Amino acid sequence: MKKDNHYLAGALLKSTGTKGEIILKFNSGLSDEILKLESILVEVDGKLVPFFIETIKIKSSATAVVQIEGINSEQSSKEFIDSDFYISKKQKREVDLVLEESIDVAGYILKDQDNKLIGTVVEFIDIARNPLLNVKVGKKEILIPANEDLIIEVDDDEQIILMHIPEGLFDLP
């Protein structure tokens, strides 16, 4: 199979567990639509080889744990670690809404309602009904609710998020 007819979806990050499960790192955000994938194409010796998915579980906004048919031990899964994986253009269309909804604000500057610098966004954590911003404030990282009601403005050109910071938020342990 030719790579140019497929979408580079991510990489096989690492082996997990003793039954050959593998953590997939996606290049874009995930949602429940990813659970519908029946197969992935793994680059092996420069060629794309189809592998069928037995189970898939979302682990975070960019990772999922998969059990691939025929890979049933930690040892057999290790030979695929750090390999790129692809999905077909048809599969990409099926999960396209997911891939386009990914919010990438890592590196954005967070300022409060008074335009005071709070810190730098490390990552957006997409938790249903409770999204969070992981923000580096000084030497520590703080999780801040990314509720739409609190966000005043997002300037993608300047990479600045202006947000109403609730009083006492930084006093929490």
pTM above 0.75, yes or no: no
- H, E, C per residue of the chain: CCHHHEEEEEEEEEEECCCCEEEEEECCCCCHHHHHCCEEEEEECCEEEEEEEEEEEECCCCEEEEEECCCCCHHHHHCCCCCEEEEEHHHHHHHHHHHHCCCCCCCCEEECCCCCEEEEEEEEECCCCCCEEEEEECCEEEEEECCCCCEEEEECCCCEEEECCCCCHHHCC
Architecture of domain 3-100 in this structure = Beta Barrel (2.40)
Topology of domain 109-171, CATH: SH3 type barrels. (2.30.30)
**pLDDT, tens only, 105-132:** 889 999 999 999 999 999 888 777 788 8
pLDDT value of residue 2: 59
Give 136-168 pLDDT, tens digit per residue: 998 988 899 888 888 888 888 899 999 998 788
pLDDT for the residue numbered 114? 93
Residue-range domain boundaries for the chain: 3-100, 109-171
Residue 98 has pLDDT above 70, yes or no: no
Query: Above 80 in pLDDT, residue 28?
Result: no
Query: What's the pLDDT score for residue 129?
Result: 76
Residue-wise pLDDT for 50-79, tens only, equals 999 999 888 877 788 999 999 989 888 888
